[in-house]
Amino acid sequence: MKGTTILFSRTVYAISWFYLAPEIPRILEEFHESSFISGVIPLSFFLGSGIMQIPSAYLGTKIGQRNSLVLGLLIMSASAFFVAFSDSFTLILLSYFLGGVGASMFFSSGGAILSDLNRERLGFSLGLYNALFCVGGFLGLNWALVYNVVGFTLGAVLVGGLTFVSALLNLRLPNPRPSWRAIRNRKVIILGVATAGMWGVYYAVGELLPSFMVFYEHQRVLTSSAVTSLLLVFSALGGVMGWLGDRMSKMRLMIASAVITSLSPLLIYTPLYLLALVILGIFNELAFSLLYSVTALEGGIRNSSITLAVVNSLNISLGTWLEFLSGYLGFYAWVVISIISVVPLLLLMGLRTRT
């Protein structure tokens, strides 16, 4: 397995997505902000990442994928340091937005170089890439343990320090430059649009299931943190299963996994609602590991930083709205988002790819 420094960095990178989550209530209280805007903090990171996916991919064509990856990690490191010493709520939002910008530079470049180094085990390597995001995410969600020992400022500084070290570890990677022409690949755009609903279902369940259980099942069985932690644990298992794509048709297995992912929220209406989290976690991550493999091959592995950025950008920009929509649909949310998620998958039927 080549590219172990990328895999380590992927774990550290994922911590940045979640390390502020345990501190959001304290941050709002310290700066006298309403609890109704708690979602603005993670949204600032998502905006930075989503908006800059394509521009970051273009930058990689100019400075090379390794340099883009390293620069992204350095920006994420600086973001954590800025967060640690921010003295206003606005500065925290701007600093965390900056972290999202850095994240956009790491994701597609890291996946592209890892794919190039492990062409014969593409499904396994990208599956592991995704699984380690889940591991890092789990660590970030539980970063409160670090804060309890060293305090918030030093805890955030530690995230910045780890990210800085991970950047230095990747300086010896190859530095290929992809062709920007890959941005015009129609099949890649179809892949991104077709799977956006699947991306949105995962985050909608993670964010809204606890509230649904209180409002409609009249029981508080899981906190939001517990739901997300469970999803990440089972998602890691699904990512490791990416090797299945090296043994059979990536496209067929991806479509099957995507359909299962999209329909899994329907189990929330039954006593088997916890099984919904298990199925959603495993098959969502398996589907996305295979999606990234198909995407990397479709545009040519050397150009995969471009094609991966296109798919990820479409997933984020289109899939994010499912979470907002679900909040207004009440009891029928899971039926509606399952339908919305499954229907675009029809675009994949008959789509000929290079897998």
Write b or e for each residue in 296-318: b if 16 or more Cβ atoms lie within 10 A of its Cβ, otherwise e: bbbbbbbbbbbbbbbbbbbbbeb
Q: What is the pLDDT of residues 114-134, one digit of tens each?
A: 999 998 888 899 999 999 999
By CB neighbour count within 10 A (0-12 exposed, 13-18 middle, 19+ buried), where does 223 fall? exposed
- Rounded mean pLDDT, 141-162: 95
pLDDT of residue 166: 98
- Residue ending a domain, among 143, 169, 195, is 169
Higher pLDDT, 4 or 220: 4
- Residue ending a domain, among 120, 138, 169, is 169
Specify whether 29 is located in the same domain as 138.
yes
Residue 81 in domain: yes
Specify whether 90 is located in the same domain as 229.
no
Residue 355 in domain: no
Number of domains in the chain: 2
- Those residues whose C-beta lies under 8 Å from the C-beta of residue 34, and which sit 6 or more positions away, are 28
Q: Residue 232: how many CA atoms within 13 Å on its side-chain side?
A: 23
- Residue 222 pLDDT grade (very low, low, confident, very high; cuts 50, 70, 90): low
- Rounded mean pLDDT, 189-205: 92
Q: CA 72, CA 218: separation in Å to the nearest integer? A: 44
Q: CA 47, CA 92: separation in Å to the nearest integer? A: 14
Specify whether 231 is located in the same domain as 313.
yes
Structure tokens at 261: 């992912």
Q: CA 213, CA 37: separation in Å to the nearest integer? A: 22
**52, 100 contact by CB (below 8 A):** yes
- Residue ending a domain, among 169, 201, 217, is 169
Residue 176 in domain: no
Residue 130 in domain: yes
Per-residue pLDDT for 82 more than 90?
Answer: yes
**Domain housing 239:** 181-348
- Rounded mean pLDDT, 260-282: 92
Residue 354 in domain: no
Specify whether 115 is located in the same domain as 204.
no
What is the CA 69 to chain-centroid distance, rounded?
A: 16
- Rounded mean pLDDT, 252-259: 95
Specify whether 53 is located in the same domain as 197.
no
Residue 80 in domain: yes
AA letter at 317: S
* Gyration radius from the chain CA atoms: 19
Specify whether 156 is located in the same domain as 268.
no
pTM for this model (two decimals): 0.87
- Rounded mean pLDDT, 52-64: 94
Higher pLDDT, 273 or 86: 86
Residue 175 in domain: no
pLDDT of residue 221: 58
Residue 323 in domain: yes
Q: What share of the chain has pLDDT > 90, as a percent?
A: 62
Specify whether 131 is located in the same domain as 207.
no
Q: CA 329, CA 314: separation in Å to the nearest integer? A: 23
